[in-house]
Amino acid sequence: MSDSGIYQHQWFDGTDISLPVGKVVCIGRNYAEHAKELNNPIPSEPLLFMKPATSLVALSNELTLPKAFGEVHYEAEISVLIGEKVQNVTDLNVAEAALAGIGTALDLTLRDLQSTLKSKGQPWEKAKAFDGACPVSTFVPRERLGALDQLEIRLDLDQVTVQAGNSSDMLTGVLELICYCSQFFTLMPGDVVLTGTPKGVGVLRPDQDITLTLANQFGWSARTC
């Protein structure tokens, strides 16, 4: 976050990343156990939706929850920062070359509102794309992490683990997701891809301490208000 309060991508060491802030492409139901816990069918191909750049806020300090639209649910995810243009790509090596960094994020969801919209057959944007709906961590350079199919993610609330997953459990892997997304949306430098959430989603309340951990090495903390 810059001094002006406007979100800016940053590296884990706190230095700014010289990339613009773009859209967020999200993958729904990419962990089978999460789909089951919400009584949703397991998709046969990735389920895509988007959040605008205005949904991005830094996963640090205080996170202000919207209080006028019912329950806010947390969904912890591995996030991918795109560093090069990706369009109609099928080669996994090309997809990996376009990957600038990896971090964590929260896909905040207004669950009551989402349920109402779904029952009416209406789009989810009001429940998923509101201002501040995507708290995102700083990013770790790709070379500092191991295999992309063995990345662990953990979310602790008030020092209690509520979500724990591994990218090996994804229905579609990280690089395959980048390729798939690029068939429909050109991914531009500064875009972020959220790769889905493991089981354990639930209600996020004010005055809770949040800790997100990636690969048992890198951690980020915040507090809700």
pLDDT means over runs of 10, the chain (225 residues) = 69 97 96 72 88 95 90 97 98 98 98 94 95 97 95 98 96 97 98 96 97 97 96
The dotted CATH code for 24-224 is: 3.90.850.10
User: What is the 3-class SS of 125-181, one letter each residue?
Assistant: HHHHCCCCCEEECCEEEHHHCCCHHHCEEEEEECCEEEEEEEHHHECCCHHHHHHHH
Residue ranges covered by each domain of the chain: 24-224
Query: What does the pLDDT read at residue 1?
Result: 37
